[in-house]
Amino acid sequence: MKILFTEDRKNQAAIEKVAKLSNSIYSQKGEGPFYHIHTFGCQMNDHDSERMAALLELMGYEYTEDETRASLILLNTCAIREHAEERVYGFIGRLKSLKENDLIIGVCGCMVQQKHVLDKIKKSYPYVDMVFGTHNYYQLPIYLLKALEGEKSISVLEDSPRIVEELPAIRASKISAFVNIMEGCNNFCTYCVVPYTRGREKSRLPEDIIKEVKGLVEEGTREITLLGQNVNSYGRGLEEEVDFPELLNRLNEIECLYRIRFMTSHPKDLSDRLIEAMKLEKMAPSFHLPVQSGSTRVLKMMNRKYTREDYLDKVYKLRQALPHIGLTTDIIVGFPGEELEDLEATISLIEEVGYDSAFTFIYSKRLGTPAAGYEDKLDYEEKHRRFDRMLGKLNEIVIEKNHSRLGQVFEVLVEEETEAGIYQGRTPQGFLVRFPGSREDLGQLRDVKITRTKNFSLEGEICH
């Protein structure tokens, strides 16, 4: 079920009222009220923040880097690991000293979807003015209006059957843009909090996605990254029979769009049809395929629904179809019950696949997840020792692969100027490269020769 952003009357009325207030501030001071958003977590949160920024600017707010100038500070939070949550609490604590004036503080995102977090905010941080969750963040205008009228609000929904369409967004990059294709997750990996913070899986209609992408391309976007917790299961529950490979086929037809990327994929749902779709003209040959562990025993305890052999088989098929594909992954070390031989299995899988890079994590216990109840005999030091061993091997491989790129030429989409005269973009495989360039290169595909490799980065020159 979907709802158009403009159909939520109460929200629209709040937008108008807040806009009037900020307009009167603007006419007195010559500048609108300022907002600052601090985003933690993954691309989902980044993109939600892009949407909240657009809502605020619609209401006359202006962005500031400087928290001390802001009349509104929003923290868009992440609950994936304990460390992420601790950082947020630290941040909210620091904001107390800024609270004196008329500052409004809002906390939203994945963390507040958990009851124990709401209780802690109410008890320990009473100066927070508004708390709202991942299913109703687009109603920020309603909560902001209340806060401006001196009323606090806590509004968190467990889930929502609705997808909101036609929300505006102010994207970090015009050239390479995030596009959500689905929300939520139904996989319930035993360590993961996301199914509880983002609700059940819901796919957007293909026509809504295509409309959004066409609109972006008209404004100069050349690359899109399709977002979802498990994009491979896109389309389940939609009336029209359309799956992820079919969606890619349709997006591939859009003129002036150069590249299509996506994240994340679950290995259990990586089909032969998707491998075939990877050969489409605009598909970037790059694949983020989180393995989590190389041990079938641990994968079973994680409820990942594939074995080490299934995973390696899919990697083999991907490489057969696209020999130069970039492969990246996520790895968790120290899952409860992990034995040394399981760690060895993860290390040998890393060697066998030869990843281009990986996000690596030490297992973090998350309240409310099944694994939180598993017996965990490993102490902190042992987990760190194991993590360092795994990372040592991974880095060896990643660094060697990176150095082997010296002298190679890649087609790079030029995305941004990072310092005067130095530009940056990605190769089809997703490797970031920096090189001297000019404004005319922005948004263009350029052949770049790698002239210098560092351990984890690449520098080059445009071939003329």
* Residue 203 touches ligand SAH, criterion: CB under 6 A: no
As a whole number of angstroms, the distance between CA 104 and CA 333 comes to: 40
Subset of 22-51 contacting ligand F3S (CB under 6 A): 41-42, 44-45
Identified binder of ligand SF4 from the candidate list 44, 144, 185, 331, rule CB under 6 A: 185
Q: Which one of ligand F3S, ligand SAH, ligand SF4, none is in contact with 363 (Cβ closer than 5 to 8 A by kind)?
A: ligand SAH
Subset of 248-277 contacting ligand SF4 (CB under 6 A): 266
In the numeric block, the tokens 């395929």 are attached to 289
* Residue 80 touches ligand SAH, criterion: CB under 6 A: yes
Q: Which one of ligand SAH, ligand F3S, ligand SF4, none is in contact with 188 (Cβ closer than 5 to 8 A by kind)?
A: ligand SF4
Identified binder of ligand SAH from the candidate list 283, 332, 349, 378, rule CB under 6 A: 332
- For helices 380-403 and 340-353, the axis angle rounded to 10 degrees is 10
Q: How far apart are the first and last CA of the chain?
A: 51
As a whole number of angstroms, the distance between CA 165 and CA 221 comes to: 19
* DSSP 8-state symbol, 404: T
As a whole number of angstroms, the distance between CA 5 and CA 166 comes to: 6
Show Cβ contacts of residue 29 under 8 Å, excluding neighbours closer than 6 positions.
none
> Which range of residues in 26-34, 78-86, 330-338, 381-389 is near ligand F3S by CB under 6 A?
78-86
Subset of 224-253 contacting ligand SAH (CB under 6 A): 229-230
Nearer to ligand SAH, 222 or 366 (CB): 366
Least Å distance, CB 191 to ligand SF4, is 7
Report the phi/psi class of residue 109: left, alpha or beta, with left for phi > 0 and alpha for psi in -120 to 50: left
* Residue 195 touches ligand SF4, criterion: CB under 6 A: yes
Contact 453, 402 (CB under 8 A): yes
Give me the helices (H) in 130-265, please.
Answer: 140-148, 194-198, 206-218, 244-251
Q: Which one of ligand F3S, ligand SF4, ligand SAH, none is in contact with 41 (Cβ closer than 5 to 8 A by kind)?
A: ligand F3S
As a whole number of angstroms, the distance between CA 212 and CA 218 comes to: 10
Least Å distance, CB 282 to ligand SAH, is 23
* Residue 192 touches ligand SF4, criterion: CB under 6 A: yes
* Residue 79 touches ligand F3S, criterion: CB under 6 A: yes
Backbone phi and psi for residue 218, each to the nearest 5 degrees, phi listed first: -60, -30
Amino acid type, 413: L
The contact set with ligand F3S (CB under 6 A) reads: 41-42, 44-45, 78-80, 110, 193-194, 197-198
Q: Give me the residues that bind ligand SF4 (CB under 6 A), please.
A: 185, 187-189, 192, 194-195, 229-230, 266
